[in-house]
């Protein structure tokens, strides 16, 4: 029998790429209020204020200027410039010391999917963002998008690492290939964020069953925790968080040699608990007005998130 939550998830992930639905939802008056639960704000000031609160509370931050699938070069440059402005503002506010606040970048937002020279444009833009991060004394993590971009993204990460060895990459446990990618990347100095994966992917490349995804996550986590790199455990899943802690103990890893990561607005009490217990706890903070694709993926992950949105729509 088909699981209704799987149908809902696949449907919402399909809609996350629909331009028509995007326009309707973005223009609904309620949307901006609801979005506030998962997005730190539209402007740099709101983002800075959210990040300041997190850092004062003992958490770390990685900031995403929202946007993806850029279709023209000037928009890719606009996104790059937004990151450059953000990094200067974070540094001026003293938030980048010791890499406490860093940035996360989607390569499709800085040009990767442009039909001509997309990869080169994305690499050039990402390189400028890395230069600015270096000047600010912090790091950059390159987000991972759908499986058609995995090879290109990992290729760009490798090129960036030649000049900026601290550039982080993301691997998605739902892809069949990821355990092998973890082995390749679990090397000295390598920062790897392991997540389950948030896109609609075909059976030919990805596990479809949640239990299979979780099993793959544990296998990948073992490789990363046993390796020489710096694992970044990106999940809200209580069981995986517990397993990550046990694997860290088993491999004699100290608290500063790996970190937990969660999304802004999701399980904030657990974020505080982990930080208070002495763990590195980094929060992924999205901001900006292009929140549609991000919000749809959050709704696809959890029916409760969808109900929250529907109730807010109905109450208007």
Catalytic residues: 143, 193
Whole-angstrom CA distances from 264 to 61, 235, 295 are: 9, 12, 12
Smaller CB distance to ligand FAD: residue 116 or 204? 204
What would the x/- binding string for ligand FAD be over residues 243 to 272, using CB under 6 A?
------------------xxx--xx-----
Smaller CB distance to ligand FAD: residue 59 or 80? 59
d(CA 93, CA 91): 5
Rounded to a whole number of angstroms, the minimum distance from the CB of residue 10 to ligand FAD is 14
Smaller CB distance to ligand FAD: residue 88 or 291? 291
Which part of the chain contacts ligand FAD (CB under 6 A), choosing from 30-38, 121-129, 147-155, 231-239?
231-239
Q: Does 195 bind ligand FAD (CB under 6 A)?
A: yes
Q: Does 107 bind ligand FAD (CB under 6 A)?
A: no
- Residue 143 backbone dihedrals phi, psi, to 5 degrees: -60, 160
172 marked as part of a ligand binding site: yes
Cβ atoms 286, 276 nearer than 8 A: no
Which part of the chain contacts ligand FAD (CB under 6 A), choosing from 34-42, 118-126, 182-190, 298-306?
298-306
Which one among 113, 139, 172, 216 touches ligand FAD, defined by CB under 6 A? 172
Which one among 119, 143, 181, 259 touches ligand FAD, defined by CB under 6 A? 143
Which one among 196, 224, 227, 258 touches ligand FAD, defined by CB under 6 A? 196
Count of chain residues binding ligand FAD (CB under 6 A): 24
Residues at the contact surface with ligand FAD, assessed by CB under 6 A: 143-144, 170, 172, 193, 195-199, 234-238, 261-263, 266-267, 284, 301-302, 305
Q: Binding site for substrate: what residues are annotated?
A: 106, 297-298
Q: Which residues are annotated as a binding site for FAD?
A: 144, 172, 196-198, 210, 235-236
Binding positions are 106, 144, 172, 196-198, 210, 235-236, 297-298
């Amino acid at each position: 029998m088909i699981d209704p939550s799987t149908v809902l998830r696949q449907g919402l992930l399909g809609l996350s790429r629909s331009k028509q639905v995007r326009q309707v939802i973005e223009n609904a008056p309620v949307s901006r209020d609801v979005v506030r639960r998962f997005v730190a704000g539209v402007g740099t000031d709101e983002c800075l204020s959210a990040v300041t609160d997190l850092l004062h509370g003992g958490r770390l931050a990685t900031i995403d200027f929202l946007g993806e699938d850029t279709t023209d070069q000037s928009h890719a440059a606009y996104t790059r410039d937004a990151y450059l402005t953000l990094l200067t503002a974070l540094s001026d506010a003293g938030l980048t010391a010791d890499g406490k606040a860093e940035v996360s970048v989607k390569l499709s937002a800085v040009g990767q999917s442009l039909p001509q020279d997309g990869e080169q444009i994305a690499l050039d833009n990402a390189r400028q963002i890395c230069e600015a991060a270096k000047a600010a004394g912090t790091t950059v993590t390159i987000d991972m998008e759908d499986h058609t971009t995995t090879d290109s993204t990992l290729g760009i990460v490798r090129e960036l690492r030649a000049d900026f060895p601290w550039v982080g990459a993301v691997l998605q446990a739902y892809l069949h290939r990821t355990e092998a990618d973890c082995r390749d990347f679990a090397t000295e100095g390598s920062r790897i964020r392991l997540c389950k994966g948030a896109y609609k992917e075909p059976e030919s490349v990805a596990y479809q069953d949640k239990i299979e995804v979780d099993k793959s996550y544990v296998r990948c986590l073992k490789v990363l925790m046993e390796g020489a790199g710096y694992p970044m455990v990106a999940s809200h899943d209580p069981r995986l968080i517990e397993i990550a802690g046990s694997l860290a103990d088993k491999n004699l890893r100290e608290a500063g040699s790996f970190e937990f990561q969660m999304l802004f607005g999701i399980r904030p009490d657990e974020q505080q608990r982990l930080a208070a217990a002495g763990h590195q706890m980094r929060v992924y903070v999205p901001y900006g007005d292009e929140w549609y694709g991000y919000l749809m993926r959050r709704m696809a992950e959890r029916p409760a998130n969808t109900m929250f949105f529907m109730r807010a729509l109905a109450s208007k």
